[in-house]
């Protein structure tokens, strides 16, 4: 029902912020990353929200970007994943890294999020890998600066190849395309993005 709240930041806590609009202070639970990226108290913000309603609870979860909100709502569709686990994931992986981890079945990246064990990571992959569209995988890929690139050349290549294979491309076609456009220092996301453009 509430797609977003536009108002002034009144308070920042560990797990929530308060945004005022029309004389009402809305408490919005969110990820630490969202809180840290937020302006000082008094600045005007637009928080993309999810109205979470259960029998004895009605709370707002919110994020700085539509992509984070979409990722949050996708995670909630996975049985056993509640708001806390979803927020923990968003605090750990950006939407694009998350989609890539799911598509390339990279449980290691998923389990970096506190509270996400191997079993839950596997269930997330199982439930979501067919729901992640090509657009989500590429459109939300920010130009990651080299120093974010914690992975070595080989694993960049293999991660990119498996990402394409999950998207339905044959291994031969995936490998030849990837190796054809690979350059030293390129990130997995850029490699996959470039490959998808040339396929």
Any idea what DSSP says for residue 78?
S
140 neighbors 195 (Cβ within 8 angstroms): no
B/e letters for 100-132, b = 16+ CB within 10 Å, e = fewer, are bbbbbbbbebbbebeebeeebbeebbebbeeeb
Candidate list 14, 42, 43, 57; residue touching a second copy; CB under 8 A? 57
Q: Count of alpha carbons within 13 Å of 106, Cβ hemisphere only?
A: 23
- Give the residue with the Cβ less far from a second copy, 9 or 166: 9
- Give the residue with the Cβ less far from a second copy, 2 or 41: 2
- Give the residue with the Cβ less far from a second copy, 132 or 181: 132
Rounded Cα distance between 163 and 157, Å, is: 10
Nearest distance, CB of residue 65 and a second copy, angstroms:
14
Candidate list 9, 31, 35, 60; residue touching a second copy; CB under 8 A? 60
Nearest distance, CB of residue 49 and a second copy, angstroms:
8
Interacting positions 93-122 with a second copy (CB under 8 A): none
* Residue 130 binds a second copy (CB under 8 A): no
Any idea what DSSP says for residue 169?
-
Question: What is the x/- site pattern for a second copy, positions 15-44, by CB under 8 A?
Answer: ---x-xxxxxxxx-----------------
Nearest distance, CB of residue 106 and a second copy, angstroms:
30
* Residue 182 binds a second copy (CB under 8 A): no
59 neighbors 22 (Cβ within 8 angstroms): no
Q: Report the 10 Å Cβ neighbour count for 8.
A: 15
Choose the binding region for a second copy from 50-58, 101-109, 141-149, 164-172 (rule: CB under 8 A): 50-58
Instruction: Name residue 54's beta-bridge partners.
Output: 57
Rounded Cα distance between 97 and 91, Å, is: 12
Choose the binding region for a second copy from 31-39, 46-54, 120-128, 134-142 (rule: CB under 8 A): 46-54
* Residue 143 binds a second copy (CB under 8 A): no
């Amino acid at each position: 029902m509430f797609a977003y709240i536009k108002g002034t930041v009144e308070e920042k806590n560990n797990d929530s912020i308060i945004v005022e609009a029309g004389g009402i202070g809305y408490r919005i639970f969110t990820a630490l990353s969202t809180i840290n990226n937020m302006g000082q108290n008094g600045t005007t913000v637009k928080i993309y929200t999810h109205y979470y309603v259960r029998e004895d609870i009605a709370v707002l979860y919110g994020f700085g970007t539509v992509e984070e909100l979409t990722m949050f709502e996708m995670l909630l569709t996975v049985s056993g994943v509640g708001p806390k686990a979803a927020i923990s994931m968003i605090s750990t992986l950006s939407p694009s890294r998350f989609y890539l981890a799911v598509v390339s079945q990279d449980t290691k990246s998923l389990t970096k999020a506190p509270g996400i064990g191997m079993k839950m990571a596997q269930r997330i992959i199982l439930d979501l890998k067919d729901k992640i569209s090509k657009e989500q995988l590429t459109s939300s890929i920010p130009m990651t600066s080299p120093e974010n690139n914690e992975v070595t050349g080989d694993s960049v290549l293999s991660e990119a190849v498996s990402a394409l294979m999950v998207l339905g491309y044959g291994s031969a076609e995936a490998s030849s395309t990837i190796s054809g456009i690979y350059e030293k220092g390129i990130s997995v996301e850029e490699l996959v993005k470039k490959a998808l453009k040339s396929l």
